[in-house]
Every structure is written in C-alpha cells, then in structure tokens.
Amino acid sequence: MMTELLYLKDHYLREFDARVTNAETNLVILDRTAFYPTGGGQPNDTGVIRWDGGESKVVDVSKKTGIVLHKVDGAAPPQGAMIHGTLDWDRRYAFMRYHSALHVLCGLVYHMYGGLVTGGQIYPDRARMDFDLQDLSTDRVQEIEKECNRAIQASRPIAVRFLPREEAMKHPDLIRTKINLLPPEIEEVRVVEIEGLDVQADGGTHVANTKEIEGIKVVKTANKGRINRRMEIVLASMNPQ
Ligand SMILES: [Zn+2]
C-alpha cells in the first residue's frame, strides 16, 4: 500500500496522526505521513513519533516505489499502533524557504538571460543551483541578486495545483523545465507556481508567499563546465533593524 503524502497538499502541516502499517528493527512504514523523504534536491525531514508506551526520533526519511520509510534511532512502534508524528519545524521551514528561493532564482535567470536549470541542491544552511549559461559575470550576479530580492519583497503568492498530464504538457513554462521527462505512468502533474514568475512540476515543499523567504544573498559562483554556471545562495534578512 502506498503511503499517503500529506506534505504534498499541506506544506505547513507539522503534526499528524497515522497508523503503523509495517515496522521492523529501525524502519517504520505509516499509512500517511507529513515527513518529507529526501528527493528533488530537498533533504528529508526529521522529528519524533510517539505512541502509547513509547517514542523514537525520526532520523532519516526515504521513499521507495511510493512507500515512505521512516528510520528511527530507538525502538519501532508495534504494527497496527497509532502514532503521533511531529516534525523538527525549524529544519523543514528553512528547507521550504530555500526551495522557494531557488524557484525565484530559476524563474529570474530564465527571464533575464534564458538560462535553464541543470541541477540544484538544498542544505540546512545554504542552497545551490546550476544553470546552462555561458556568461555569469559579477555584474550579472549582482543584477540577479537584486532582482531576486525585489521579487521576494513583492509578496508574490506561491500556489500548488494538480494538473492532468495532457494539460501540463501544453504549458510552455512546464515544457522548458523538461516535463516531458516525467515517467509516462504519471497521470497528474503537481505544479508549483510563483505568481507571474515561475511555474514548475515539483514535488517539494514551499512557503505560501515569497515574503516568507525574506531575502537572499549569492555567496559563491563557480564554473562547472563550459556552459554550466553554479550559484550558491544563503537566506538573508533584507531589513536588519
Ligand atoms: Zn523545486
């Protein structure tokens, strides 16, 4: 049985109840979960699960063929038990801010210079993104950073929608982000849209409005091949007072 992925519909869900469908040694499978499993450049959540008579920390979360595996650092709850899960919210919320920040960056680099994304990764304290771009001068980096912060402060809503595959395949912005590479068995495409800026097929968790990102700083750039340019960002408050 596939795990119901509560985080796909509610990014702000930080506590939930679920039933243990399978458990052995230190791996727990639930019928539903709000714990995000590592994937799409976003690291897994951590937290704790509690049940009648015990509790364990969730230290790693992964997904295999639709089933989410929660690795715990103590005893596993018995099969059939009801658990209450709580996420480490500071960690997850930072990932949400970083993930949305990367989409702002990706939308702007495309609109400004036509650069397409070739890869990206989020860490607890930074994030990086690679672009198919020949020129990434200091001037351009400054311009990109400035425009990102302008977009962030414009309080643009970030919405999640589920589109039928046929409809998604016709969307020009989704085509540019290589939606055609999605496995053919996927009938419904989850789409994350930053109003007026960026639309992507995406399985990650995001903030609801760009203002929650607060601001970004480009802290590093690197050449990763002839036309591959990397930018590393950190979250930054733009109004220090
Ligand atoms: Zn994404």
Per-residue pLDDT of the chain (241 residues; tens, 9 = 90+): 899 999 999 999 999 999 999 998 999 999 999 999 999 999 999 999 999 999 999 999 999 999 999 999 999 999 999 999 999 999 999 999 999 999 999 999 999 999 999 899 999 999 999 999 988 899 999 999 999 999 999 999 999 999 998 888 888 778 776 666 777 788 899 999 999 999 999 999 999 999 999 999 999 999 988 889 999 999 997 655 4
| Category of 67 on φ-ψ map: left (φ > 0), alpha (ψ -120 to 50) or beta | beta
Kindly give, in sequence order, each residue whose CB lies less than 8 Å from that of residue 53, ignoring residues fewer than 6 positions away: none
Residue 100 CA to ligand 1 center (angstroms) comes to 7
Q: pTM of the predicted model, to two decimals?
A: 0.94
Q: Is 88 helix (H, G, I), strand (E, B) or coil?
A: coil
Residue 103 CA to ligand 1 center (angstroms) comes to 6
CA torsion, ordered 155, 161, 167, 169, to nearest 10 deg: 70
Residue 76 CA to ligand 1 center (angstroms) comes to 32
Give the torsion sign (CA, 7, 204, 90, 55): positive
